[in-house]
Amino acid sequence: MSELIVDFYNNLVFIFERLNLIGVVDIFLVTMIFFSILLLLRGTQAMVLLRGVLLLVALVGLLNSLEVLPAFSWLARNALPALVLVIPVIFAPEIRRGLERLGRAGSLLSATNATAESEGAISAVVTAAIRLSDRKHGALIVIQRLDSLEEYIRSGVQLNARVTPDLLMQIFYPNTPLHDGASIISGSEIVAASCVMPLSASGVLTRSPERRMGLRHRAALGISEVSDAVSVVVSEETGIISVVHGGRMIRRLDSERLENILRAFYWPLQKKRGMSRLLARLFPEKPRSRREEG
């Protein structure tokens, strides 16, 4: 045992004796890459897959080190390189999402400061959501933040009307032409209604203890997975109000909590500048809540 400790100490001394500034920068860059990957995968099904892949690699490496298993060692040496091709296939959605965030961050200078104009719209959204919840009228309201939603705006009916509670209630009144789909708010305007949102395939809803969540909730999760938009969902069956962002859902909100959560998404962005705002685009913050359901 003492020999192992001495060897370990000698190895540490050997490493630190040859460590220089370039080595520190090299280690820092590698650490930041892995840290960024873990942030991108946080809260997704890919994290579970990543744990499985790491466990498999560790197990194969352990068995491969045993000299009494020559046939297995040969199989491991020839099979492990295939993971280089398998991993991009398994993590394709997460890789695509990460590249999209990098691309959206590149347009940082041209981004409009819509968040400052959204403060008045938040009060209108909260008032409308409470009224819709009391009447059990289903609704999906998507609030644009830094990422452009032009692709989804074109799929609906353009309105470019100022956000008011009465207008939102009229849009989501049952059996009206615009009640299906999502209404997208940018700044202080409802830019479009009856918009088609991408449906989430992450399986978050299937793991929820409440299964009475349908296409509106899947659409809210879907748009949150491909952008930094915030979605407010009112359940048609239960009247429960939910907020969705970054692939996570906060449910059973009252008017006070709903307003506080929505404002929490915009006040930090108004204050951030330069590198802080760039990091906010790459790694959007997620709200903390004791009732957060994944």
Residue 136: its pLDDT value, please? 93
Residues facing 293 on adjacent strands = 249
Give the sheet arrangement for strand 248-250, strand by strand: 157-162, 189-195, 182-186, 139-143, 230-234, 241-245, 248-250, 292-293
Do 283 and 139 have their domain in common?
yes
pLDDT along the chain (294 residues), means of 10: 72 76 84 79 63 73 68 70 71 66 52 55 94 95 88 93 94 92 93 93 61 81 88 93 90 92 73 47 46 39
Residue 227, domain CATH: 3.40.1700.10
Last residue of a domain, one of 46, 78, 108: 108
Do 39 and 144 have their domain in common?
no
Last residue of a domain, one of 108, 137, 165: 108
Cβ–Cβ < 8 Å for 139, 129: yes
Residue 275: its pLDDT value, please? 43
Do 87 and 173 have their domain in common?
no
Domain count for the chain, please give it: 2
Q: Phi first, then psi: what are they for 78, rounded to 5°?
A: -90, -20
- Name 44's Cβ contacts closer than 8 Å, sequence gap at least 6: 94, 202, 247
Answer whether 0.85 is exceeded by the pTM: no
Which domain range does residue 26 map to? 2-108
Do 87 and 154 have their domain in common?
no
How far apart, in whole angstroms, are the C-alpha atoms of residue 19 and residue 62?
29
Do 165 and 236 have their domain in common?
yes
